[in-house]
Amino acid sequence: MHISKHLDVISACRFCFMCRHLSPVGNVTCREADTPRGRALMLDRIRMEPSRLAQPSYLESLYAAELSAACRTHCVSHYDEARLLLAARRDAVEAGLAPQAVKELAEELLQVKFKIEGKGEVLYYLDPYAAKQPEILKSFRAIAGDCAILSGGDTGKALLTLGFADEAENVAAKFRDAVKSSGCKMLVTSCPASYHALTNDFPLEGVKVKHSSEFLKEKGLSSGKPGKAYYLDSDYLKNYCGNLTAPRELLATAGYELKPFGTNREESYACGEGAVVYDRLNPQIAEKLSARIRELVDDAKSDVLVTASPYTRHVLKLHQPDLNVVSLEEAILKAKG
Ligand code: SF4
């Protein structure tokens, strides 16, 4: 079993309470099974008796995890509970135990149709969540100018997080072919999960990959006086990509006065971004995660929330329409006036 490569994590987390406050799902469901400790206890049971993996309540908890990896970042020993959960999901898929909803979603994610529009050395990858929100690409183009666009599906990252490793590789190979056919030298994406995928899971040969915050920061934009804003950290940029500093630096350069959001700087406020398609599989929990953000906002009308994640923007806009939430690209365009 893939989980047997992570026995140190199971042993450490199963009796540890230290990061339970950093489990966004546990914070809204109030279930012990949705904390790193609860999940490690279940996986310890499965380690001893693999047939337990078929237990529906265990599978439900595995796929209810938001994979924010906040626990890994803030654990004093950096135990990798996120990787343990990914291994467990892969075990479930390979044993033919993935829940029906997971299988159906995976089937949908396999139906990619990548296409390139336009030409140029810079290729902007329009991920499925940014594709639902035209404001993001419109703002990016207004700042950065025209560029070629790649669209048509997820990179394979969503399948990987659901536990479909082979299928993810197949989709990633199609994605690589599409990038190669564009002849680009650089790929830019607003999607932190895709950025992590293309810099870690499915690297691109001979093509530099940048998050849009890095790309826009290098453009040396002039600053304005846009006022105060709350930056909601991306799970991927913070907990998977070494706490990329470009989004905060870009906002500061644009003149924003960044205020700390929420009750602490360790918790994830990304609404399930770490699980890539979390809202598709767990819409009710995604709504609860968004409601927690709403609770922590002082003034919905005047507080500006900036997110570097198209996924997070989508979930907050859908469930909390009164919040003033904008993408990084929209925030920078506004600062330019
Ligand atoms: S990740 Fe670290 S802090 Fe969290 S439960 Fe495991 S050992 Fe404890």
Report residue 185 CA to chain centroid gap. Answer: 25
- Residue 48's pLDDT is 97
In our burial notation (b when 16+ CB lie closer than 10 A, e otherwise), range 271-287 reads bbbbbbbbbbbbeebbb
| Predicted confidence (pLDDT) at residue 219 exceeds the cutoff of 90 | no
Is the CB of residue 82 less than 8 Å from the CB of residue 274?
Answer: yes
Q: Which two tokens stand for residue 265?
A: 């700087």
Ligand 1 centroid – CA 257 distance (Å): 33
Mutation test residue for ligand 1: of 73, 75, 78, the one with most atoms within 8 Å of CB: 75
> What CA–CA distance (Å, rounded) separates 171 from 36?
30
The angle formed by the CA atoms of residues 75, 67 and 151, to the nearest 5 degrees, is 135
Is the CB of residue 115 less than 8 Å from the CB of residue 304?
Answer: no
| Predicted confidence (pLDDT) at residue 220 exceeds the cutoff of 90 | no
Location of structure tokens 């149709």 = 113
Could you read off the pLDDT of 263-300 as tens digits, one per residue?
A: 999 999 999 999 999 999 999 999 999 999 999 999 98
| Predicted confidence (pLDDT) at residue 121 exceeds the cutoff of 80 | yes
Ligand 1 pocket residues where CB is under 6 Å: 12-13, 16, 18-19, 36-37, 71, 75, 77, 79, 81
User: For 248-259, what is the mean pLDDT?
Assistant: 94
- Residue 178's pLDDT is 98
Pairing of strands 256-259, 227-232: parallel
The angle formed by the CA atoms of residues 258, 289 and 82, to the nearest 5 degrees, is 90
Ligand 1 centroid – CA 88 distance (Å): 17
pLDDT band at 86 (very low <50, low <70, confident <90, very high): very high
Could you read off the pLDDT of 225-235 as tens digits, one per residue?
A: 888 999 999 99
Instruction: List domains and CATH numbers for the chain.
Output: 2-98 (no CATH), 109-217 (3.40.50), 222-336 (3.40.50)
Location of structure tokens 């990038």 = 179
Ligand 1 centroid – CA 202 distance (Å): 28
pLDDT band at 84 (very low <50, low <70, confident <90, very high): very high
Pairing of strands 186-189, 256-259: unpaired
Closest protein CA for atom 4 of ligand 1: 19
Ligand 1 centroid – CA 16 distance (Å): 6
Ligand 1 centroid – CA 32 distance (Å): 14
Is the CB of residue 211 less than 8 Å from the CB of residue 196?
Answer: no
Closest protein CA for atom 5 of ligand 1: 13
Could you read off the pLDDT of 131-165 as tens digits, one per residue?
A: 999 999 999 999 999 899 999 999 999 999 999 99
Is the CB of residue 235 less than 8 Å from the CB of residue 192?
Answer: yes
> What CA–CA distance (Å, rounded) separates 41 from 11?
9
| DSSP secondary structure letter of residue 131 | H
Mutation test residue for ligand 1: of 77, 80, 239, the one with most atoms within 8 Å of CB: 77
Beta-bridged to residue 230, according to DSSP, are 259, 305
237 Cβ neighbours under 8 A, 6+ residues apart:
192, 195, 211, 213, 243, 244, 247, 308
pLDDT band at 10 (very low <50, low <70, confident <90, very high): very high
| DSSP secondary structure letter of residue 219 | T
Ligand 1 centroid – CA 57 distance (Å): 22
Give the whole-number percent of the chain exceeding pLDDT 90: 94
Ligand 1 centroid – CA 172 distance (Å): 32
User: For 162-170, what is the mean pLDDT?
Assistant: 98
> What CA–CA distance (Å, rounded) separates 229 from 47?
46
Mean pLDDT value across the chain: 96
Q: Which two tokens stand for residue 56?
A: 């529906």
- Residue 293's pLDDT is 97
> What CA–CA distance (Å, rounded) separates 26 from 29?
5
> What CA–CA distance (Å, rounded) separates 321 from 300?
10
pLDDT band at 210 (very low <50, low <70, confident <90, very high): very high
